Amino acid sequence: QSALTQPASVSGSPGQSITISCTGTSSDVAGYNYVSWYQQHPGKAPKLMIYDVSNRPSGVSNRFSGSKSGNTASLTISGLQAEDEADYYCSSYTSSSTVVFGGGTKLTVL
């Protein structure tokens, strides 16, 4: 159950777009369309932003989008805003009926 691989940090200026990658294996990301993305602000519980690769829960801005190609999933945030500054985690269902998270990516809005 190795963690999914995410970049430790990404940054962008307000209004720009950024993409966070999440790399797994054939036993998780590549094997299922069950990749999720969570946003976590300091001291707060995580919040679901994307599920099943590209679906947005009700209430989540359409500036957030998800995709997947092979064993790599991606979260794209367009029109970057100051409030988007947070930690982002991907997760995937696995062939062992477990879930694995990525190591997390700190997004800095410059």
Partner 1 sequence: EVQLVESGGGLVQPGGSLRLSCAASGFTVSSNYISWVRQAPGKGLEWVSVIYSGGSTYYADSVKGRFTISRDSSKNMLYLQMNSLRAEDTAVYYCAKTVGATHIDYWGQGTLVTVSS
List interacting residues with partner 1 (CB under 8 A): 1, 3, 32, 34, 36, 38, 40, 45-48, 51-52, 57, 87, 89, 91, 93, 96-104
Smallest gap, in angstroms, from Cβ of residue 74 to partner 1? 17
Q: Which is nearer to partner 1, 13 or 59 (CB)?
A: 59
Smallest gap, in angstroms, from Cβ of residue 27 to partner 1? 13
Smallest gap, in angstroms, from Cβ of residue 76 to partner 1? 18
Nearest-angstrom CA–CA distance, 4 and 92: 8
Q: Which is nearer to partner 1, 3 or 10 (CB)?
A: 3
Q: Which is nearer to partner 1, 59 or 62 (CB)?
A: 59
Nearest-angstrom CA–CA distance, 69 and 104: 19
- Between the CA atoms of 54, 93, 9 and 77, what dihedral angle is there, to the nearest 10 degrees? 10
Smallest gap, in angstroms, from Cβ of residue 14 to partner 1? 26
Nearest-angstrom CA–CA distance, 93 and 101: 9
**Which residues in the chain belong to E strands, given as ranges?**
9-12, 18-23, 35-40, 47-50, 64-69, 72-77, 86-93, 99-101, 105-109
